[in-house]
């Protein structure tokens, strides 16, 4: 029996119909003993097609002796798949005819020509794939919608952007309040991803895909910059994470969220965890989380990731505050055979050897606790703790600062290719920019101190004193980070620098 195989991926005006394919194939058939196998809506990129698989089964049981197609790419666009198919045809002594290309596999020349044509079919497929990929990246660069379901807290809204019909994210008022609550809970530090997931599940809230919440899905939501009102601080954070920023820093005005797109290093890596060589573009939709709250959550997530990877950091309520008094690097906790002591980043990197004795964590915590509680008792009714200002004025200054830093880096790179005379001029320019950088930093610090502060009242201080001994590790961390700037450690003393 003769098999006629037809396939059509999508029914388009410029694609040949199944009926037309059958008509062309019938020209190669002289007998009435034939069977038509049709796969409609299936791609030629693989051979997982029901009618095709049925035809192969019929070949293997000896029913089919000849296969006729309208064109080679109806069978497959993959050279590897096609080679396996031809091997199967040869094994079961089945002739193969392409009506359009006039190939006859019963001859060696026909088989050779067949392979050459399939090379071009494979090339065409790879060209289409590259074109689709390039178009995807161009759409992302232009801020156009990249497909998929809307993230939790948003829904899809049809719109026009740069004259093109597309979608953007519109706010789901009820869900966006839940998103804000999730960020607030995580920022408290007493709420882990698991605790937040359990809270959401108890409330019978589902993800956008209708599933229960897990620590992973909560973490992915917190990491996603689609929610943030992206400003200069967010720009710097994402860039430091290795992201390639398509949008100009002037677009980071603290209003819109961000799209992130690109290839993951591995299938198991969240695309928001490692942004190396991923792209970021300012999106057309409005963000719903302040940059300050979003960044606070990112820093906590970064800290937790470092703790998870190293097995350290949960041994002390002073984690993140301890600094080496000799090199200035962060001092971390080491737990070795039951002995818990501190080590600094400079020592681990092989350049800080000033410290001559082992300093145990319990000794540091005892001194820090006494000094902290004494400081609380000495305070008046209320005081202020500086926090970062989120004003437009500060954001504009941070944008200028980022541009100055970029220019300095570019000039440093250029110095490598310049002669001594030209290099001296470039060096002068770097010094000018460095002075400008210092002036901008001073302005930012001054405005932050003058315009942005957090008031802690006497009632809060009394609460700290009364409950200190009953606080768990996370609660003590919260108090310490609210009041302490850093704990500077040397062999001779433990210095507590307060934020007051």
- Can you give the CATH number for the domain in which 97 is found? 3.40.50.1390
Residues 9, 43, 388, 453: which is the catalytic one? Answer: 9
Same domain, 121 and 164: no
Q: Would you tell me how many other CB atoms lie within 10 Å of the CB of residue 63?
A: 12
Ordered alpha helix ranges (H), 172-326: 173-187, 193-202, 215-223, 232-240, 291-310
> How do beta strands 244-245 and 339-344 pair?
unpaired
Grade residue 349 by pLDDT with cuts at 50, 70 and 90: low
Q: Report yes or no on 242 lying in a domain.
A: yes
- Round the average pLDDT of the chain to a whole number and report it: 81
Angle value at C-alpha 295, between 292 and 301, nearest 5 degrees: 145
Same domain, 185 and 303: yes
Give 72-91 pLDDT, tens digit per residue: 889 887 777 887 888 899 89
| HSE of 493, CA atoms in CB hemisphere, 13 A | 4
Last residue of a domain, one of 138, 173, 197: 138
pTM of the predicted model as reported, rounded to 2 decimal places: 0.48
Q: Report yes or no on 356 lying in a domain.
A: no
Give 30-47 pLDDT, tens digit per residue: 878 999 999 998 888 888
| HSE of 414, CA atoms in CB hemisphere, 13 A | 14
Grade residue 309 by pLDDT with cuts at 50, 70 and 90: very low
Q: Which long-range contacts (CB under 8 A, 24 or more apart) does 451-454 make?
A: 451/389, 451/391, 451/394, 452/386, 452/387, 452/388, 452/389, 452/390, 452/391, 453/384, 453/385, 453/386, 453/387, 454/384, 454/385, 454/386, 454/387
Same domain, 125 and 172: no
- Provide Rg for the chain, Cα atoms: 33
pLDDT of residue 2 exceeding 90, the answer is: yes
| HSE of 94, CA atoms in CB hemisphere, 13 A | 26
Same domain, 317 and 462: yes
Domain residues for the domain of 407 are 313-324+361-498
Q: Report the alpha-carbon distance of residue 258 to residue 235 in Å, rounded.
A: 10
6-10, 56-60, 368-372, 432-436: which has the minimum mean pLDDT? 432-436
Same domain, 398 and 441: yes
Q: Would you tell me how many other CB atoms lie within 10 Å of the CB of residue 354?
A: 13
Give 192-229 pLDDT, tens digit per residue: 888 888 889 988 999 988 888 888 899 999 999 999 99
Q: Report yes or no on 90 lying in a domain.
A: yes
- pLDDT of res. 7: 93
Same domain, 130 and 34: yes
Q: Report the alpha-carbon distance of residue 252 to residue 234 in Å, rounded.
A: 8
CATH number at residue 166: 3.90.1750
Number of domains in the chain: 3
* H-run or E-run covering 427: helix 420-451
Residue 421 vs residue 158, higher pLDDT: 158
Same domain, 205 and 304: yes
Same domain, 388 and 295: no
Same domain, 461 and 320: yes
3-state DSSP percent of the chain in helix, strand and coil, to 5: 50, 20, 35
Most confident of 151-155, 188-192, 309-313: 151-155
Residue 360 vs residue 124, higher pLDDT: 360
- pLDDT of res. 390: 53
Give the mean pLDDT of 459-465.
73
Coil vs helix vs strand at 77:
coil
Last residue of a domain, one of 138, 172, 204: 138
Q: Report the alpha-carbon distance of residue 287 to residue 271 in Å, rounded.
A: 19
Q: Report yes or no on 365 lying in a domain.
A: yes
Residues of the chain above pLDDT 90, percent = 26
Residue 311 vs residue 488, higher pLDDT: 488
Last residue of a domain, one of 138, 167, 199: 138
Residue 112 vs residue 187, higher pLDDT: 187
pLDDT of residue 53 exceeding 90, the answer is: yes
pLDDT of residue 67 exceeding 90, the answer is: yes
Name, in order, each residue with C-beta under 8 angstroms of 180's C-beta and a sequence gap of 6 or more: 288, 289
Same domain, 70 and 188: no
Q: Report the alpha-carbon distance of residue 28 to residue 363 in Å, rounded.
A: 92
Give the mean pLDDT of 99-118.
74
Coil vs helix vs strand at 157:
strand
Q: Report yes or no on 146 lying in a domain.
A: no
Same domain, 46 and 130: yes
Residue 378 among the catalytic residues: no
* H-run or E-run covering 91: helix 79-91
Q: Report yes or no on 343 lying in a domain.
A: no
By the 8 A CB rule, do 282 and 143 touch? Answer: yes
Q: Report yes or no on 63 lying in a domain.
A: yes
- pLDDT of res. 3: 95
Q: Report yes or no on 147 lying in a domain.
A: no
Name, in order, each residue with C-beta under 8 angstroms of 413's C-beta and a sequence gap of 6 or more: none
Same domain, 120 and 185: no
Token couple for 54: 């049925």
């Amino acid at each position: 029996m003769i098999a006629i195989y037809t396939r059509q991926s999508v029914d388009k005006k410029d694609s040949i119909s199944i009926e037309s394919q059958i008509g062309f194939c019938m020209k190669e058939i002289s007998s009435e003993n034939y069977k038509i196998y049709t796969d409609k809506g299936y791609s030629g990129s693989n051979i997982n097609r029901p009618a095709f698989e049925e035809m192969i089964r019929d070949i293997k049981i000896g029913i089919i002796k000849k296969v006729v197609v309208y064109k080679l790419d109806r069978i497959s666009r993959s050279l590897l798949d096609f080679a396996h198919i031809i091997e199967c045809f040869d094994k079961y002594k089945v002739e193969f005819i392409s009506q359009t290309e006039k190939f006859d596999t019963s001859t060696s020349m026909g088989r050779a020509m067949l392979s050459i044509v399939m090379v071009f079919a494979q090339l065409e497929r790879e060209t289409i794939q590259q074109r689709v990929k390039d178009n995807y990246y161009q759409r992302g660069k232009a801020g156009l919608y990249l497909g998929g379901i809307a993230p939790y807290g948003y829904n899809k809204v049809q719109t026009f952007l740069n004259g093109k019909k597309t979608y953007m994210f519109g706010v789901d008022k009820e869900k966006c309040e839940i998103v804000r609550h999730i960020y607030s809970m995580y920022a408290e530090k007493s709420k882990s991803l698991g605790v937040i997931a359990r809270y959401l599940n108890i409330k019978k809230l589902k993800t956008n895909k209708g599933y229960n919440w897990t620590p992973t899905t909560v973490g992915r939501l917190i990491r996603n910059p689609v929610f943030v009102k992206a400003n200069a601080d967010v720009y710097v954070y994402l860039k430091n994470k290795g992201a390639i920023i398509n949008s100009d820093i002037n677009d980071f005005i603290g209003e819109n969220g961000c799209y992130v797109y690109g290839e993951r290093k591995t299938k198991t890596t969240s695309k928001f965890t490692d942004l190396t060589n991923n792209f970021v573009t300012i999106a057309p939709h409005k963000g719903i989380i302040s940059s300050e709250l979003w960044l606070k959550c990112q820093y906590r997530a970064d800290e937790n990731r470092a703790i998870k990877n190293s097995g350290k950091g949960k041994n002390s309520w002073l984690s993140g505050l301890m600094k080496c008094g000799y090199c200035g690097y962060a001092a971390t906790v080491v737990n070795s055979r039951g002995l818990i002591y501190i080590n600094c980043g400079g020592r681990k990197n092989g350049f800080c050897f000033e410290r001559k004795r082992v300093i145990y964590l319990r000794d540091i915590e005892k001194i820090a606790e006494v000094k902290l509680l004494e400081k609380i008792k000495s305070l008046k009714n209320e005081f202020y703790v500086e926090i970062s200002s989120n004003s437009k004025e500060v954001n504009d200054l941070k944008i200028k600062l980022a541009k100055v830093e970029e220019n300095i880096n570019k000039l440093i790179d250029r110095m490598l290719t310049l002669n001594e005379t030209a290099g001296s001029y470039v060096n002068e320019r770097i010094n000018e920019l460095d002075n400008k950088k210092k002036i901008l930093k001073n302005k930012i610090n001054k405005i932050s101190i003058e315009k942005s502060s957090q008031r802690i009242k006497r009632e809060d201080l009394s609460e700290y004193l009364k409950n200190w001994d009953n606080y768990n590790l996370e609660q003590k961390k919260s108090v310490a980070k609210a009041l302490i700037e850093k704990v500077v450690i040397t062999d001779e003393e433990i210095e507590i620098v307060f934020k007051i």
